[in-house]
Structure 1
C-alpha cells in the first residue's frame, strides 16, 4: 500500500514539474510563429532562396531557443537545435519540394562544408591577422550575436533592414522570434558594432555567436540548424557540447582556431 502511495506521489510531482516547465505551450507561441511565417512568406511572395537565407542560424526566422535545450513545439518536446528541421519539413512542401528533395538539401549542404575545409582553412591562415582582430573585438563586445547578410543586419535582438526593428517577445516564450514586431525609430548601431559587422563581411563570415563559455562560432554558411565555419577559443579547446551546434566534424587549424561542420 505504501509503495503504491509513493508511486502516485511521484507521478503527481513529475506531472506538476512538467506542466510548470511547459506552461507556455498553452499559449501556442509555436503555432503563432509558424502561422506568422507562413503568412509573411505568402504576403511578400518570398522566393525559396530568400526563405533559406532568413532561416539560417541566427537570421531573422531562426526559431531555435537560445537558452534552453528542450522545448515544446507544435506537438511534442524537441531538442532546441532540431526545431528548424521540423519547420523546414513544412516549408519545403509550401515551396513544392518533394520529400526526397527536401531531405537531400541538408546532406548536400554538409558535404559542401566538408569539401571546402581546405579552401576555407587556407583563407583563415591567409587573413589570420584580421581574424584575430575580429575575435578580439567580439570578445571585448558586450553583444552575443552579430549577423551580416546581404539584406539584413542583426546585433542581439536588434535587426536592421530598411529600418531598425525588434520582435516583441512574451516573457514566458522560449522562442527568439514572435508574430509581432516593433520599429525602433531612435536606434542605431554604434561605431564599434558597425566595425565588427564590416570585419565579418570582409572575412566572408555571415554570423558570429559568443558562447557562455567564452568561445566564438564564426559561421561561413548555414542551412536551417546546420552550419560550417570556424570556432575560436583562447585556450585552444573545441567546444562540442553547445546545444545550438551539433558538431559533426572538427579540426584544429592553429593554437586557437578550429574548422567545424555542424549538423
Structure 2
C-alpha cells in the first residue's frame, strides 16, 4: 500500500506539470489517448475497469521489460497500471481514500474466493486439462476472452472487427495512440477453440509463460487471481508480470494463486 500511495501522489503531480527531459514520451501519449477516448465515448467507470484489467485493451503495462522509464523516473512494469488507476480514479471523481482501498479490497476478494473457485476448478478439471493442452501446443501467449472483446497476442476482435495497435519503434508499451484494422483476418480454428473453452470456464484471460499458464479469473491494475498450470508441478514465482502473494496446490500441475 505504501508503494501505491507514493505512485498515486507522484502521478497526479507529474501529469499536471508534464513530462520533462524524456525524448520519447510514449507514456504521456498513451495517457492522453486514453483520457480523450474516455471523454469522447463517455466511458463509465465500470467499462474503464473492464478495459483496464490485466492484459485487456487499456493495460499499458510493458510485457517484456522489467523496468521502464516513465514520468521522469524508472519504474517496474508492474507499477505502470497503478499510474493509470491513480490518475483515472481522480478523473472519475473517486477520493484518494477510495482509490487506494480498491487494490487491497480486490486482493481480499481473491483470498476469500479461493474455496469457491477451487470447487469450480475440480468440477471442470477435464476441460481445464483440454485447455492447457491446446494452449501449450499453440505458438500464441496471450488469450483474452471478455464479453465485448477478444484478443490473441497483439490482435483484438471487437464488434466483429479485427484490429491492433501501431506500436512505435522503441516503445516498451503494448498499446499506443494509434490503431489499425486487420483486413481479411480471422482467428484460427484452434484459437477460437481456446477462446470458447475460456468462456465456458469463466476465465477472462490465459497467459502462457516459458514455464506454464496463468488463468486469470479476475484482475485489477497489476493484481489478479485465478489458476496456474505447470507440467512440472511447480508454482512459478519469478515472472515479471505476476508478483505472487499467495498460492496453494489444488491438484497435480495446478495451483490457485493471488498476485499483487
With the length of structure 2 as denominator, give the TM-score of the two structures.
0.90
Could you list the per-position Cα deviations for residues 107-162 of structure 1 after superposition, in whole angstroms to 9, with x for gaps in the alignment? 11111110000000111111100000000000001100000000100000000101
- In structure 2, what is the equivalent of residue 167 of structure 1? 165
Aligned-partner Cα distance in 2 for 1:44–1:183: 19
User: Partner residue of 2:243?
Assistant: 246
Counterpart in 2 of 1:142?
Answer: 139
Structure 1 residue 25 displacement after superposition: 4.2
1:163-202 superposed matches below 5 A: 163-202=161-200
SS at match of 2:23: helix
Tell me the distance in 2 between the aligned counterparts of 1:122 and 1:79. Answer: 35
Equivalent in the alignment of 1:210: 208
Unpaired runs of at least 5, structure 1: 1-23
For residues 210 and 25 of structure 1, the distance between their equivalents in structure 2, rounded to whole angstroms, comes to 33
What residue number does 2:51 align with? 54
2:235/2:255 contact within 8 Å kept: yes
TM superposition shift of 1:27:
1.3
Q: In the alignment, does 2:225 pair up with 1:228?
A: yes
Report the alpha carbon displacement of residue 194 of structure 1 after superposing the two structures with TM. 0.5
Q: State the 1:49 CA deviation.
A: 0.5
Q: How many residues align?
A: 239
CA distance in 2 between partners of 1:44 and 1:146 (Å) = 26
Instruction: Name the SS for the 2:242 alignment partner.
Output: coil
Q: Secondary structure at the match of 2:226?
A: strand
Partner of 1:14: none
RMSD: 1.0
- Once residues 210 and 251 of structure 2 are traced to their aligned partners in structure 1, the CA distance between those partners, rounded to angstroms, is 22
Q: Secondary structure at the match of 2:251?
A: coil
Determine helix, strand or coil for the equivalent of 2:99. helix
Q: What corresponds to 1:257 in structure 2?
A: 254
- Residues 139-196 of structure 1, C-alpha deviations (whole Å, 9 max, x = no match): 0011000000001000000001011100000121100000000011211101111010
Structure with max Cα Rg: 1
Mapped partners of 1:83, 1:259: distance in 2: 25
Gaps of 5+ in 2: 1-20
Distance 2:113 2:200 in 1: 18
User: Displacement of 1:75 after TM fit?
Assistant: 2.2
Task: Give the 4+ runs in structure 1 shifted more than 6 A.
Answer: none
Distance 1:25 1:123 in 2: 48
Which residue among 69, 73, 92 is the counterpart of 1:95? 92
Q: Distance in 2 between matches of 1:25 and 1:236?
A: 44
Distance 1:99 1:199 in 2: 39
Distance in 2, matches of 1:212 and 1:141, equals 13
How far apart in 2 are the matches of 1:65 and 1:25? 18
TM-score normalised by the chain length of structure 1: 0.89
CA deviation digits over 1:38-78, x for unaligned, max 9? 00111010000000001001000001101010001122111
